Structure 1
Amino acid sequence: MADKPRLLVIDRDASPDESTVAALGEAFEVVTTQSISRALGLLRESTFAGVYVDAAQLAAVRWVGMILQAEEILDAISDGVAVVDADLRITWANPEFLQLVEPGADVIGTRFFQALPDSEILGPDPSPFTSAVGSREPASTGLKIGGGRYFRITVTPVFDAAGSLSHLIVLTREITDETQQQLKVNAIAKAGDELADLTPEELAQMSAEERTDLLKFNIARHMKDLMGLDFLEIRLLDRKTGELLPLLSEGMSPTAANRELLARKEGHGVTGLVAATGQSYVCPDTTKDPIYIEGAANARSSLTVPLVYHGNVVGTLNVESPQPNNFDDRDRQFLEIYGRNIAAALNTLELLQAEKQSAASASVQAISMEVALPLDDIISDATTVLDRYAGHDEDIIARLRHLLYRAREIRGLITKVGSAIAPATARKATAAASRLGDRRILVVDADEAIRRSAHHLLGEEGAEVETARDGHEAIAMTRQAPYAAILVDIRLPDMDGYEIYHRLREIHPETPVILMTGFGYDPTHSIVKARQEGLQTILYKPFRANRLMEAVEQALRSGIQASGEPPAAGRSTQT
């Protein structure tokens, strides 16, 4: 007896018509299912002579025929497609999806995530199936499976005419390449953020040179670990001279590492071009590029990016490879991101050094200002006694001279200590910016605020300032020590402006004297009479810093012109 033909009966009614099923059973081998998704799976797995559907349920199962007709399309598309039922069991999958599972595994009837080896939901949606059913809209999320492959899965729910969930269609699209690129970007950005990320304790224990060495070590390590690069060079741009100064060189030839380069579009290689234009440059083949200048030995390709901070080029980062065409646009993107972090880290180091310099300068200035007037009192009192004691006990005179020497030495030691704790670059900059070049200047005024202000303003410009409270102290101090210039108030407790001017010029005719007056007040006409004896410079109080400097510099120039050479008496000596 021949086997009966098989008939698939789809009856979604919870209580199917038994008489109908019995009648069909006389002619067919009846296979009954109440799930449309299961019916589709059975049709894939077995051969049936036909499908029986009650007329009332035709609308609900019309999609079955549509999928069957579109089977060739679904099998041919490059994205993986799977159909799952309400229990998330796979009822159908195209060949592309089947390539994601273990070879030879039968995934039909297996829960979706169990079918994928070592699957891990990455987000942003931790439960796309629940979200899709709840919102009745497609839901997407990231998924990682074994072998380091990444996918974006999109779950679309399908409901029947009664609004009940019929099945879900899952589209899987591989995004391994773009995900790995983003992960690399994130890793490079994180590494860049850590370049100058030091705790306050670490900063306190490290010198500027140690912080720079740590930065260079981290850069070299990141280039090797994250980008697999062994040959690199970083140069910093000196904006005043246009020089590109070497900061870090790994794997470059000695000639390349010590080569003098400028930020120029021509004649200074790729590095000079990038620094001048602020544009990255990929050199696919160094043997055919007329701009390229040899860096690493046997390098066949290179990539150079600018180090940019707040829109300004501060240096260049160059990497090279022995393989031609080793760098593409993605490498350029990675290196530009990292280059911005290097620029920010370098700026942080500069700020730290500037902060250290500022703190050192502020400390030294505060100490200097506190001891300035007490030291002046010691110097003026000792000088006055020395001036009056001349010709008497030589031992007393020697002790007074030693006292003066030590008092002036204290001021010099404070400045020396401040210079020692400031960064070397800051010391050079401060020395270069000194306008008065360690010249000793005497300020004579009864007003303590004026004497203190003179210490501050002239001391900032490199002068060694000493002060006197009246004319007799000024005369005694001028007899015992040379000064580059003398500033004198015209209203002293013991002398008027003309008298002190005349007396000082008698002692040192070559020393320029500046008379100071408050708001032009001069009841004794000291200024008029002093002008008749050669007075060149007048300073009106209260004076501004720029006006004070102008007056002192004008007086110093007049002293040079009068003598034909800079007055030696104006330089600080341990007197």
Structure 2
Amino acid sequence: MGAFRPRLVVSGDSDETERQFRSLMGDDVEVVRPGAGQGDADGMLFTGGLAKRTHDLELCARGFLDSVPDALVLIDSQNKVVWHNEVFRTMADSEQPLIGLSFLEALGNPELISPAVLPLNMDPGPGQVLKAILKMAEKSFVAIRASRSALAVGDAESRNFTTIVVRDVSEEILENQKREALYLAGIELGDLSPEEITEMPHEDRTELLKEKILEYSQDILGFETIEIRVLNPVTNELVPLLEVGMQDEAVQRKLYAVAEDNGVTGYVAATRKSHLCRDTKADPLYITGAADARSSLTVPLIMHDEVLGTFNVESPGTQSYDQKDLEFLEVFGIVVAMALNQLHLLVAQKVTAATASSNRLRSEVALPTDDILSSATAILEKYIGHDPDVCEQLQQIVDNTRKIRGQIERVSEEVETTDAGFHPPISRLREERPQLKGKRILVVDSDASVLTSAHDLLDRHSCSVETVRSGKAACQMARSHHYDAVLCDIRLPDMTGYECFCQLQEIDDHLPVILMTGFGYDAGHSIVKCRQRGLKAVLYKPFRREQLLTEVEKAVTPPPPHE
């Protein structure tokens, strides 16, 4: 048996180094060139520039390149793989050797997403980095960065190779796809055709919105159990708009935008802060929604700094959601809030237009119906005790005239009432002066513009306003009908304000009377004399809205009982 000859790979800056080493060692060592069966070599010798990088070479030998989180690949000018790290083998999911395969073949021929031409087929300039996105599977994507450089491998002369870094970007791509889908969903939610705006009832538009929200919640975000509530700004209640997968008890539960004792939903609406519940059994805010829920996400729906409602999703697994899921729900919440706000605007526009029409109708019929009431009352007063049939017919005229005005008022109120928790600002108007609702006010003035102004200001607060143009007519109306207050001008065509005040007191000494005057001299001193007989309030024309409403409200409100 011959003497043992160790195999030694010698790598240096030139072939001269190898020749010198062979001459020095003679037959004691078998010298092997790099790339020539070096897999079973007993050692390696680096000389020249490589010897100065032994630390780097040692790190590579100890597996540093395999510990890099990205795949590293070296391919030749024919796009064949000549080297790769272990991460690339894992990414390619192959037990077969990858050396010698084309780069795309090694990866299983993935689909090129961008750019239109694979960078490896291009001819990059010196120092240029080419980039591409490849689709490996349905939800798997990789990004590659490739640069070309001249390298000497083994004993060959320097040749062009391409170094490729392959990174798994599935999470980033899927997140971007979600964001793009949510953006398109926002456009779709707000895309109503002219027919849907003008012809579709509010309830149908709401149902259409709910269908789209549910579709996008499930298809884009993968949420199966959801609940959306909208805030009623008048009652502060969070009214259910859409629910899927919730218990009946949870849906019927009354929740308010209050931070305590109203679950996560009430807390989120009150604080305007999103809430991630990782474990429902450990979260003190959580109140049972879905029967098997163990985690939940809840975000506020905010538009123009106003809370419109809440969006809640639940899952049967603990730790089912993370911060990223919360961020996506917040993005979708913005989309939903915009759609809800559009419904608000459509309702408000419809109510505004309808209210303007009803107000105009009410204004147009106000004075003519007042004249009918006044004339019928005057004739009725003459026939009482003489002709019961005529009196009955006249009373029907009075009743039907008031009924017509009442119907107009009811139609106006119905227009201002909407379903599904949508309450435009106009509908809140009637809550401003609840003491005036249902009160009957008699206004006495010879100026038709003053009578119209009184109707415009008081009718919208659900007062029943009736007007006459003389003191005599005022007394006839007061004798025949009940009024909660009378507004009387001090200058009437048939008597002074003082005379009318006194006659009204004789008819009903508990009837509140407010005198009206312009900014002029009170020649008859009506105001002074009326004050001596208990006058409480004087209004100056033209009316100032707040002053008129306040004085009438005082007049029709009973004083508190004496202690």
Residue 296 of structure 1 is matched in structure 2 by 290
User: Equivalents in 2 of 1:447, 1:130: separation in Å?
Assistant: 91
SS of the residue 2:515 aligns to: strand
Aligned counterpart in structure 1 of residue 147 of structure 2, from 153, 156, 175: 156
Matched, 1:356 2:345: no
SS of the residue 2:443 aligns to: strand
Shift of 1:301: 2.9
User: Equivalents in 2 of 1:420, 1:269: separation in Å?
Assistant: 34
Residue 21 of structure 2 is matched in structure 1 by none
Residue 549 of structure 2 is matched in structure 1 by 549
Structure 2 counterparts to residues 19-30 of structure 1, below 5 A: none
Aligned counterpart in structure 2 of residue 144 of structure 1, from 135, 138, 161: 135
What is the one-letter code of the residue matched to 2:176?
Q
1:440/1:465 contact within 8 Å kept: yes
What do residues 51-85 of structure 1 show as CA deviations (whole Å, max 9, x unaligned)?
Answer: xxxxxxxxxxxxxxx99xx9998788632535465
Shift of 1:227: 3.6
TM-score by length of 1: 0.72
Residue 329 of structure 2 is matched in structure 1 by 335
User: Equivalents in 1 of 2:67, 2:113: separation in Å?
Assistant: 27
Shift of 1:516: 1.0
331-340 vs 509-518, greater mean Cα deviation: 331-340
Shift of 1:201: 1.5
Shift of 1:485: 1.4
Residue 111 of structure 2 is matched in structure 1 by 119
Q: 1:132 to 1:490 in 2, by over 3 A?
A: farther
Shift of 1:185: 3.1
What is the one-letter code of the residue matched to 2:348?
A
2:135/2:141 contact within 8 Å kept: yes
Aligned counterpart in structure 2 of residue 79 of structure 1, from 44, 68, 71: 71
Q: 1:80 to 1:371 in 2, by over 3 A?
A: farther
1:261/1:268 contact within 8 Å kept: yes
102-111 vs 538-547, greater mean Cα deviation: 102-111
102-111 vs 288-297, greater mean Cα deviation: 102-111
Residue 457 of structure 1 is matched in structure 2 by 457
Shift of 1:346: 2.8
1:356/1:422 contact within 8 Å kept: no
1:101/1:117 contact within 8 Å kept: no
User: Equivalents in 2 of 1:303, 1:288: separation in Å?
Assistant: 14
Shift of 1:421: 3.2
User: Equivalents in 2 of 1:297, 1:207: separation in Å?
Assistant: 35
Shift of 1:315: 3.6
Aligned counterpart in structure 1 of residue 277 of structure 2, from 275, 280, 283: 283
Using the aligned pairs only, state the percent identity. Answer: 40
User: Equivalents in 1 of 2:541, 2:261: separation in Å?
Assistant: 56
Aligned counterpart in structure 1 of residue 218 of structure 2, from 220, 224, 227: 224
User: Equivalents in 2 of 1:404, 1:555: separation in Å?
Assistant: 25
Q: 1:483 to 1:79 in 2, by over 3 A?
A: same
User: Equivalents in 1 of 2:384, 2:117: separation in Å?
Assistant: 96
What is the one-letter code of the residue matched to 2:414?
A
User: Equivalents in 2 of 1:135, 1:515: separation in Å?
Assistant: 96
Matched, 1:90 2:82: no
What do residues 481-517 of structure 1 show as CA deviations (whole Å, max 9, x unaligned)?
Answer: 2222111111122222222222222233322222111
TM-score by length of 2: 0.74
What is the one-letter code of the residue matched to 2:114?
L
Residue 28 of structure 1 is matched in structure 2 by none
Shift of 1:223: 3.1
SS of the residue 2:553 aligns to: helix
2:295/2:314 contact within 8 Å kept: yes
The number of aligned residues is 493
User: Equivalents in 2 of 1:534, 1:301: separation in Å?
Assistant: 69
1:243/1:263 contact within 8 Å kept: yes
User: Equivalents in 1 of 2:344, 2:323: separation in Å?
Assistant: 31
Shift of 1:522: 0.7
SS of the residue 1:194 aligns to: helix
What is the one-letter code of the residue matched to 1:117?
N
What do residues 81-107 of structure 1 show as CA deviations (whole Å, max 9, x unaligned)?
Answer: 35465xxx5154544668659997999
1:376/1:466 contact within 8 Å kept: yes
In structure 1, list runs of 5 or more residues that go unmatched: 1-42, 48-65, 566-575
Shift of 1:253: 2.7
Shift of 1:130: 9.2
SS of the residue 1:442 aligns to: strand
Shift of 1:405: 2.5
SS of the residue 2:539 aligns to: strand
User: Equivalents in 2 of 1:240, 1:482: separation in Å?
Assistant: 33
Residue 422 of structure 1 is matched in structure 2 by 416
User: Equivalents in 1 of 2:83, 2:404: separation in Å?
Assistant: 90
SS of the residue 2:220 aligns to: helix
Structure 2 counterparts to residues 158-237 of structure 1, below 5 A: 169-237=163-231
What do residues 400-432 of structure 1 show as CA deviations (whole Å, max 9, x unaligned)?
Answer: 333333222221121122223333465974554
